[in-house]
Amino acid sequence: MTDYGKQTGPTQLEFTRMFDASPAKVWEFLVDGEKRKLWFCGGSTADRPGGRIVFDFDHRRLSDRSPPKKYASEEVVTHFGEVITYDPPRHLVFTWFEAEGEGESTVDISLRESEAGKTELLLVHTGVAGRDMLIGVLAGWHSHFDLLAEVLTGQRTTDFWVRDTELEEEYSTLL
């Protein structure tokens, strides 16, 4: 298994990651805004289909560096989605924003306990349009999952913007 995501359709990408924690613990870091902001973004998650999921992005919490120029206006921003599936601690599906005015996509996250007591996370993100958006979303999920792995096993040490910039370069050659 590789930590790298892959494009699995014209507007679809997929990640399979293994985390050294139980599905219940990984689930908490997906839906609890206080825990989620340690690796991704804050905000709330309704515990039922049809409810709202709030994404309060403030990458200043995850990086000591300024964002790359193309992300400077997005460093602190709030987006909203809708919970489609809420089945703790196994399955979470929600709508995801896209670039302003370009609609939304869907994120489907499944958790499965491995034989070693770890958690296999499968993320399928559909509706990601355009090569630049695919590269950015692949690098973003990958960077955030790297931070999640650190948070789950101790303290986060990776700087988000440094890692994300490296990964955008790598994914631009892989796609």
Task: Lay out the sheet containing 6-9: strands in order across.
Answer: 6-9, 12-19, 119-126, 104-113, 91-97, 76-87, 52-58
In a domain, 26, yes or no: yes
How far is Cα 115 from Cα 80, in angstroms, rounded to an integer?
A: 36
Does the residue 45 lie in any domain? yes
14 in a structural domain: yes
**67-76, 127-136, 139-148: lowest mean pLDDT where?**
67-76
55-107 tens-digit pLDDT:
999 999 999 988 888 887 777 889 999 999 999 999 999 999 865 446 789 99
CB atoms within 10 A of CB 105: 20
For residue 163, being part of any structural domain is answered with yes
Note whether residue 116 is domain-resident.
yes
Which pLDDT value is given to residue 36?
Answer: 98
Q: Are 172 and 134 in contact (CB under 8 A)?
A: no
Question: Does residue 142 lie in a domain region?
Answer: yes
Is the residue at 1 inside a domain? no
pTM of the prediction?
0.94
Alpha helices in the chain (DSSP H): 23-31, 33-36, 131-153, 160-174
CATH number at 103 reads 3.30.530.20
> Residue 111 has what pLDDT?
98
What pLDDT is attached to residue 153? 94
One-letter amino acid at 25 equals K
Q: Which domain holds residue 139?
A: 6-174
Instruction: Determine, yes or no, domain membership for 109.
Output: yes
Domains: count for the chain? 1
Residue recorded with tokens 């650190």:
150
Helix locations, 10-159, DSSP H: 23-31, 33-36, 131-153
